[in-house]
Amino acid sequence: MTTNLPFSITLKHILSSFASLVLLTLFIITRTSFSPSSSVQPHDNNTLRISNSSTGTKSHSQKSASCNKIPPSLADALIHYAASNVTPQQTHSEISVTKKVLEKKSPCNFLVFGLGYDSLMWSTLNYGGRTIFLEENESWIRQIAEKFPSLESYHVRYNTKVSDADALMAAARDKEECHSVSMDPRVSACDLALKGLPDVVYETEWDLIMVDAPTGFHEEAPGRMTAIYTAGLIARRRKDEGETTDVFLHDVDRKVEDEFSMAFLCRDYLTEQEGRLRHFTVPSHRDYGVSGGTFCP
């Protein structure tokens, strides 16, 4: 996600859409009636939660707290994109696919493989929820953290290469463990399961997952084989039966992304494709029992 792709989209379209989102958010904020003792409290890892009580009277300080001001994170995002001449990695149409889902589900839990110029946008679109970013480049994480300290990001090490993709696919097809959804990725015998991610990744119920990293445009790059597989496994292991996870994969014009998404996110779960972005709606497989089911119907 740290690579600026050769294609570009008009900054005018991006800023127009983003400004519209901010205006809509401001409208909602100004029209919402808070209960007398509404207060905004900080949550772990830069998440905001609003707690309401049905009793009490509004004090002067509480009246001040409910003033209709734009939230700082929205202000930061608006200023950043208005002043930036760097376009996001995805096109306007591709971004809109994820934006539509966030409009329905946010605030929610949003896991993003990659940290890039669009990270502040994703975090802002999920305002009030938790958005975390997994990035392969430590120096890039430090650079972004200095500019946007509110973003929650973690360093991830990948031990694969794009050149390994065919062998990994062949091994996964023959290995029963790679088709079971009952195994925790941290102890899975499948070579495609990422085992060294932060515990929060495995222990959170993710509503959306975006796979736009690691680097995958040359043979020596890590490739997205393990990220795609692990995203699919995490989605299937949601604890609540009947729940679904929206998984988005970018750069599906490439061989690895195309083949691994159809094998492990599943053709039957494909909801939409726009440009180089695929949107899969992956259901929980918990109702298949602890012995696990298969990845695809």
* pLDDT (tens digit per residue) in 88-100: 789 999 999 999 9
Confidence class for position 77, pLDDT limits 50, 70, 90: confident
pLDDT at 143 over 70: yes
- Give pLDDT, residue 45: 43
Cα–Cα distance between 210 and 97 in angstroms, integer? 12
- Give pLDDT, residue 240: 79
Sheet holding 130-135, edge to edge: 152-155, 130-135, 109-113, 208-211, 244-250, 277-283, 270-274
Candidates 176, 273, 279; CA nearest to 235 is 279
Cα–Cα distance between 271 and 218 in angstroms, integer? 28
Confidence class for position 291, pLDDT limits 50, 70, 90: very low
Candidates 133, 104, 115; CA nearest to 46 is 133
- Give pLDDT, residue 128: 94
For residue 205, what are the contacts with CB-CB under 8 A and spacing of at least 6?
Answer: 109, 238, 239, 240, 243
Candidate ranges 76-80, 172-176, 195-199; pick with highest mean pLDDT: 195-199
Confidence class for position 53, pLDDT limits 50, 70, 90: very low
pLDDT at 135 over 90: yes
pLDDT at 166 over 90: yes
Tell me the per-residue pLDDT of 80-129, one tens digit each, with 9 for 90 and over. Answer: 776 777 767 899 999 999 999 999 999 999 999 999 989 999 999 999 99
